[in-house]
């Protein structure tokens, strides 16, 4: 069964990008969220196998969302989606428990490499 | 202690000794190809290495030595004659043995590929003469073999802290993680690597450290020192699994938790077993009745002797009027001196340990350069403090390389000059007073000071004006100037970008001096003088402007009281005549930049003058008062006060006060 993914990003364009990459890679997109707050609600509801998480979003940013999701489910697999220049925030997210990160603009092979790695362990 | 590792350590020690023997004997064999004694000695040593390697299960080493042995057997049975080609082949074989041993030491397994070499040996064995081609020298090009442990070396305190934490299951892993060239957000990746390392064990040190990583202040590699009970393979896999990690190189460090008082019985049993096995395998190795001690323990001992000495001096300073007191002081004095002497003796090792690597080097280089050179070694049994020995190897190597490369001429040129075609390099060591002298002398072309001057002007080290006023000796000394190198083109042999200034730096950090003498067409001599020991020395205590200073006796030739009328003025400089040599006088206070009125000594009836030696130069240092001679313990001023002009350290005197030690070499 293909893995179920929740895509979190405030920009529809970015969500589209990552969705296409993941679908091509054999994943199933079960939900999309525009803010950290929505992401938490959707996580509780959907229990996805993986979350791709943007960092800067309105209402609640990605780092706080990571922290809250991990409080709900300590085994949650979250990959951060970062732009260049957000290094410090990515480090915070990893410190908080995010498993890995990918950098915008997304390259399909890199995204899939990072995602697949999580499920190989 | 891990039994396998103890076994390994013995294997390394022994095989290193055999390798040295092999190198020496193959050299001898080249000179005396018919000597059966030597052939047998080489054969035996190769055989022993083979036996040990086979016991340890190192197949390549076993194969290699086995075939070398076969060749030697043929030589011994007169089926093959020793020629230059065979000697070269044997030497390459020895180099391969060394590489394989290094592999095992660093990585725990044999990595160097020897198959080409083995097939060559095979051909020689089959008398296939056509392969008398130049053998490729084994070289360390493999990234895996590069030693990067220096990147993450620990300070003494760190070591202590970490070693104390280790259990017997723990290993120290030196890890180099190389990131992919196109790695994005390198700092985050680096952070993840550190985080992973922390999950795998205790992260003792990383270079770059966490702050530098977060600031993305690093290149393509992260060096990590990890203490972990996990297997090398697992660590390798876990780290290599991180995205953008291109390569993970792991060297397992030699250190093990040792001498833990409690050894489990199980362990003790297998230890005995392994020693027994070892003895069976290496029946013909002689074990000398010595104890191997970690040099650090000796350092500690030396420090403690120093502390004792300081307290003894303070006790003396009390100067109590009592027979019992005097008696105790005398006893104490004797005991501390003996103790100091004994500790020094223990730390001493023969300088031969570094000398014996040079014959091979001279042979290889002279061949490469088509020169004929005999290296004569004298005084290899001269003993020197262990810490000095380790540092001396490189400077000596550099000087000898220079002699071979620039000093000794090619045979044809030598004959044209009426010299024997074979050049000589004399390497000798001897003790002179409280100093050890090491000389490297060649009968080569000598140093052309005109060329030195030209070069120095060209490099902007001196101006033509200065050059015209320079004495011959100062001209020669220009070769020690940073950024100076006489070699026109950079050759493989010496001009490696490090010049004689590096030699001088190293020697001076050891509190020694280096001189050069040279005569054009006749030869050159480099002299290195070193103190016997670094930590404790005899000194003359003097007073300069109400402060006590120590002057090491090693640099003092005599002390005088000079009457003002004996002072003569030469070109505005005060000098005295001492046994027909003119000695310039220098006021110590002025040298130290003390804020007092200079020149007052002229009004004294007797002026205390300390005659100081620096190389061939002598100078009279004017002090206010000479106190006494005493043993001092040299303490460094600490890292914030390095390179203070004219002060080399400090010591604690009898009353507990600190006295500065004058660095008189710079004054003279």
In-domain check, residue B113: yes
Q: Cβ contacts (< 8 Å) between A100 and chain B: which residues?
A: 192, 243
**In the structure, what pLDDT confidence band is assigned to residue B264 with cuts at 50, 70 and 90?**
very low
CA distance B252 to chain A (A): 26
The answer to whether residue B470 sits within a structural domain is no
How sure is the predictor about B326, in pLDDT bands with cuts at 50, 70 and 90?
Answer: confident
Active site residue B341: no
- Residues B210-245 pLDDT 10s: 888 888 878 888 989 888 888 888 888 888 888 888
CB-based contact B188 A110, cutoff 8 Å:
no
CB A53 within 8 A of CB A111: no
- Report whether B529 contacts B439 (CB < 8 A): no
What is the rounded distance in angstroms from the CA atom of residue B48 to the CA atom of residue B461? 55
- Packing angle, helices B186-200 and A87-96, rounded to 10: 20
Chain A touched by B185 (CB under 8 Å)? yes
Give the per-residue pLDDT at B146.
64
Asked if residue B462 is part of any domain, the answer here is no
Interatomic CA distance for residues B624 and B612, integer angstroms: 16
Interface contact A91-B184, CB threshold 8 A: no
Q: Which domains does chain A have, with CATH numbers?
A: 4-120 (3.40.50.2300)
Strands B547-552 and B373-378: unpaired
Q: What's the length of chain A?
A: 121
Q: Do A94 and B187 touch (CB under 8 A)?
A: no
Q: In this structure, are B527 and B660 located in the same domain? A: no
Minimal Cβ distance to A82: which of B185, B195, B241: B185
What is the residue range of B610's domain? Answer: 536-667
d(CA A37, CA A65): 7
Instruction: Specify whether B345 is located in the same domain as B355.
Output: no
On whether both B182 and B62 belong to a single domain, the answer is no
Instruction: Give yes or no: residues B401 and B501 share one domain.
Output: yes
Distance CA(A12)–CA(A34), nearest Å, equals 8
Q: Which stretch of B249-253, B287-291, B660-664 has the lowest confidence by average pLDDT? A: B287-291
Task: Kindly report the number of other CB atoms within 10 A of residue B551's CB atom.
Answer: 24
Q: Are A4 and A46 in contact (CB under 8 A)?
A: yes
Q: Give the chain B residue nearest A102 (alpha carbons).
A: B184
Q: How far is CA B446 from CA A71, B365, B403, B404, B442, in A?
A: 79, 19, 9, 12, 8
B254 touches chain A (CB under 8 A): no
pLDDT score for B549: 92
Cβ–Cβ under 8 Å, residues B404 and B371: yes
Q: What is residue A106's three-state secondary structure?
A: coil
B625 and B506 both lie in a single domain: no
A33-42, B275-284, B381-390: lowest mean pLDDT where?
B275-284
CB neighbour list of residue B613: distance below 8 Å, 6 or more residues apart: B555, B556, B557, B668
Tell if the CB–CB gap between A87 and B184 is shorter than 8 Å. no
Residue (of B96, B642, B533, B123) closest to B301 by Cα position: B533
- Assess if residue B121 is contained within a domain: yes
**Is the confidence at residue B83, as pLDDT, over 80?**
yes
**CA separation for the pair A28, A7 (Å, rounded):** 10
The minimum CA-CA distance between A60 and chain B, rounded to whole Å, is: 22
Q: Is B69 a catalytic residue?
A: yes
8 A C-beta contact, residue B420 and residue B445: no
Of A102, A109, A113, the C-alpha closest to A7 is: A102
CATH number, residue B360: 3.30.565.10
Greater confidence (B655 vs B281) lies with B655
pLDDT reported for residue B139 = 47
In a domain, B454, yes or no: no
> Would you tell me the crossing angle of helices B115-125 and B84-107 to the nearest 10 degrees?
150
Query: What ipTM, to 2 d.p.?
Result: 0.84
Interface test with A, best of B181, B182, B185 (most A CBs within 10 A): B185
Question: Which pLDDT score, from 0 to 100, does residue B114 have?
Answer: 85
**Domain assignment of residue B308, yes or no:** yes
Interchain contact, B185 vs A94, CB within 8 Å: no
Active site (annotated) includes residue B187 = no
Say if residue B462's pLDDT is above 50: yes
CB B529 within 8 A of CB B513: yes
Average pLDDT over residues B73-80: 80
Q: Which of B160-174, B419-433, B473-487 has the largest mean confidence?
A: B419-433
Chain A positions touching chain B (beta carbons under 8 Å): 82, 84, 87-88, 90-91, 94-95, 100-101, 103, 110, 113-114, 117
Q: Are residues B342 and B356 in the same domain?
A: no
The string of pLDDT tens digits covering residues B192-206 is 898 888 888 888 888
Examine the domain organization and report whether B550 and B443 are in the same domain.
no
Describe the strand order of the beta sheet including A28-33 as a list of residue ranges. A28-33, A4-8, A50-54, A78-82, A100-103
B83-118 as b/e: b if 16+ CB within 10 A: eeebbbbbbbbbbbbbbbbbbbbbbeebbbebeebb
> Are B192 and A94 a contacting pair at CB < 8 A?
yes
* B238 interfacial to chain A (CB closer than 8 Å): no
Rounded average pLDDT over B137-149: 57
Q: Of B322, B349, B376, which residue constitutes the final position of a domain?
A: B349
Preferred mutation among A55, A87, A97, A107 to probe B, highest tally of B CBs within 10 A: A87
Domain assignment of residue B476, yes or no:
no
Q: Confidence band (pLDDT; 50, 70, 90) for B145?
A: low
User: CA angle at residue B234 from B231 to B238, to 5 degrees?
Assistant: 145
* Least confident piece of the model among B150-164, B171-185, B483-497, B515-529: B483-497
State pLDDT tens for residues A91-108: 889 989 999 999 888 888
- Compute the mean pLDDT over every residue in chain A, rounded to the nearest whole number: 89
- Whether residues B420 and B364 share a domain: the answer is yes
Give the tokens for residue B1: 């202690």
Q: Given the residues B174, B207, B402, B424, select the one marked as catalytic.
A: B402
Task: Count structural domains, chain B.
Answer: 5
Last residue of a domain, one of B313, B332, B349: B349
* Token pair of B496 as six digits: 């490696």
Same domain for B336 and B365, yes or no, is: no
| Residue listed under structure tokens 């303490």 | B635
pLDDT at B128: 59
Please name the residues in contact with B564: beta carbons below 8 A apart, sequence gap of 6 or more: B601, B602, B603, B604, B605, B607
CA distance B204 to chain A (A): 20
- Give the nearest chain A residue to B237 (CA atoms): A121
Helices (H) and strands (E) in chain B, counts: 22, 22
Same domain, B393 and B526: yes
Residue B513: pLDDT band (50, 70, 90) is confident
B195 touches chain A (CB under 8 A): yes
Angle of helix B3-31 versus helix B358-368 axis, rounded to 10: 50
Question: Using 50, 70 and 90 to split pLDDT, how confident is the model at B305?
Answer: confident
Active-site residue, from B24, B30, B47, B477:
B47
Cα separation values, A84 from A90, A91, B334, B348, Å: 10, 13, 72, 59
Residues B360 and B420 both lie in one domain: yes
Average pLDDT taken over every residue of chain B: 79
Q: How many residues does chain B have?
A: 668
Show which of B252, B285, B319 is a domain's final residue: B252
Q: Please report whether residue B457 resides in a domain.
A: no
Closest partner CB to B188 (pick from A90, A110, A117): A90
* CATH number of the CATH domain containing B340: 1.10.287
Cα B7 to Cα B46, B225, B270, B319, B630, distances in angstroms: 20, 25, 11, 56, 48
Residue of B184, B185, B243 with shortest CB distance to A117: B243
Catalytic-labelled residue, pool B23, B24, B30, B69: B69
Confidence of residue B136 (pLDDT cuts 50, 70, 90): very low
Check residues B7 and A69 and name the one with the higher pLDDT: A69
DSSP 3-state assignment of B318? helix
Mean pLDDT of B379-386: 84
Look at residue B155 and tell me whether its pLDDT is greater than 50. Answer: yes
Q: Are residues B561 and B597 in the same domain?
A: yes
CA–CA separation, B135 and A65 (whole Å): 65
Q: What whole-number distance in Å separates Cα of residue B54 and Cα of residue B72?
A: 19
Q: So what's the pLDDT on residue B25?
A: 87
Beta strands in B143-237 (DSSP E): 171-179, 202-207, 221-228
Q: A87 and B214: CB-CB below 8 Å? A: yes
Percent of chain A surpassing pLDDT 90 = 50
| Strand-pair category, B658-662 with B647-652 | antiparallel
Distance CA B405, CA B338 (A): 46
Enumerate the residues of chain A whose CB falls inside 8 A of the CB of residue B188.
82, 87, 90-91, 94, 101
Tokens representing B35 are 């000597």
- Position B493 pLDDT exceeds 70: no
Place of tokens 């990515």: A90
Q: Distance between alpha carbon B64 and the CA centroid of its chain, in Å?
A: 31
Of A82, A91, A110, the CB nearest to B191: A91
Whether B214 has its CB under 8 Å from any CB of chain A: the answer is: yes
């Amino acid at each position: 069964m293909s893995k179920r993914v929740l895509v979190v990003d405030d920009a529809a364009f970015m969500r589209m990008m990552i969705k296409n990459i993941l679908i091509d890679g054999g994943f199933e997109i079960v939900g999309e969220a525009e803010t950290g707050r929505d992401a938490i609600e959707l996580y509780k509801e959907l229990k996805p196998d993986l979350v791709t998480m943007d960092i800067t979003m309105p209402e609640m940013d990605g780092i706080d969302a990571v922290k809250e999701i991990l409080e709900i489910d300590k085994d949650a697999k979250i990959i951060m989606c970062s732009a260049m220049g957000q290094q410090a925030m990515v480090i915070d997210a990893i410190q908080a428990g995010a498993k890995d990160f990918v950098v915008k603009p997304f390259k399909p092979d890199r995204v899939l490499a990072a995602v697949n790695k999580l499920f190989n362990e | 202690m891990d039994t396998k590792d103890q076994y390994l350590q013995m294997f390394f020690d022994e095989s290193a000794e055999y390798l040295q023997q092999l190198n020496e004997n193959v050299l001898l064999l080249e000179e005396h190809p018919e000597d059966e004694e030597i052939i047998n000695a080489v054969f035996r040593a190769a055989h022993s290495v083979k036996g040990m390697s086979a016991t340890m299960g190192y197949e390549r080493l076993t194969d290699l030595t086995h075939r070398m042995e076969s060749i030697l057997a043929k030589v011994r049975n007169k089926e093959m004659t020793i020629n230059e080609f065979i000697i070269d082949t044997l030497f390459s074989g020895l180099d391969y043995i060394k590489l394989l041993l290094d592999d095992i030491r660093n990585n725990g397994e044999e990595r160097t590929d020897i198959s080409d070499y083995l097939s060559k040996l095979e051909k020689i064995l089959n008398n296939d003469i056509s392969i008398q081609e130049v053998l490729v020298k084994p070289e360390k090009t493999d990234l895996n073999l590069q030693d990067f442990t220096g990147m993450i070396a620990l300070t003494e305190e760190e070591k202590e802290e970490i070693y104390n934490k280790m259990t017997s299951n723990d290993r120290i892993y030196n890890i180099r993680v190389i990131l992919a060239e196109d790695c994005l957000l390198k700092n985050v990746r680096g952070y993840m690597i550190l985080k992973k390392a922390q999950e795998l064990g205790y992260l003792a040190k990383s270079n770059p450290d966490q702050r530098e990583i977060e600031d993305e202040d690093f290149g393509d590699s992260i060096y990590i020192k990890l203490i972990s009970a996990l297997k090398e393979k697992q660590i390798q896999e876990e780290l290599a699994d991180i995205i953008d990690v291109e390569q993970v190189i792991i060297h397992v460090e030699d250190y093990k938790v040792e001498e833990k008082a409690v050894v489990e019985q199980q362990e003790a049993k297998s230890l005995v077993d392994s020693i027994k096995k070892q003895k069976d395998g290496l029946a013909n190795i002689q074990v000398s009745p010595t104890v191997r001690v970690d040099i650090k323990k000796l350092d500690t001992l030396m420090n403690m002797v120093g502390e004792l000495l300081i307290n003894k001096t303070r006790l003396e300073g009390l100067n109590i009027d009592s027979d019992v007191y005097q008696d105790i002081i005398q006893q104490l004095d004797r005991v501390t001196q003996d103790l100091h002497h004994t500790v020094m003796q223990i730390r001493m090792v023969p300088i031969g340990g570094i000398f014996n690597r040079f014959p091979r080097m001279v042979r290889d280089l002279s061949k490469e350069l088509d020169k004929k050179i005999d290296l004569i070694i004298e005084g290899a049994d001269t003993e020197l403090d262990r810490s000095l020995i380790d540092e001396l190897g490189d400077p000596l190597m550099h000087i000898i390389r220079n002699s071979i490369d620039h000093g000794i001429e090619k045979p044809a040129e030598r004959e044209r000059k009426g010299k024997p075609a074979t050049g000589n390099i004399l390497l000798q060591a001897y003790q002179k007073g409280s100093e050890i002298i090491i000389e490297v002398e060649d009968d080569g072309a000598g140093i052309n000071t005109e060329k030195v001057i030209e070069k120095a002007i060209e490099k902007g080290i001196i101006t033509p004006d200065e050059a015209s006023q320079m004495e011959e000796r100062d001209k020669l000394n220009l070769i020690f100037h940073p950024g100076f190198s006489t070699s026109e083109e950079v050759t493989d042999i010496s001009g490696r970008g490090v010049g004689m200034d590096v030699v001088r730096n190293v020697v001076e950090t050891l509190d020694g001096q280096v001189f050069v003498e040279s005569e054009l067409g006749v030869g050159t001599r480099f002299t290195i003088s070193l103190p016997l020991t670094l930590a404790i020395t005899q000194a003359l205590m003097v007073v300069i402007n109400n402060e006590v200073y120590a002057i090491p006796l090693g640099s003092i030739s005599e002390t005088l009281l000079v009457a003002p009328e004996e002072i003569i003025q030469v070109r505005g400089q005060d000098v005295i005549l001492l046994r027909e040599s003119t000695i310039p006088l220098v006021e110590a206070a002025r040298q130290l930049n003390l804020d007092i009125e200079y020149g007052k000594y002229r009004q004294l009836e007797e002026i205390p003058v300390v005659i100081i030696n620096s190389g061939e130069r002598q100078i009279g240092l004017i002090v206010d008062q000479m106190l006494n001679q005493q043993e001092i313990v040299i303490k460094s001023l600490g890292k914030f006060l390095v390179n203070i002009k004219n002060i080399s350290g400090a010591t604690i005197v009898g009353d507990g006060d600190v006295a500065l030690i004058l660095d008189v070499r710079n004054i003279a």
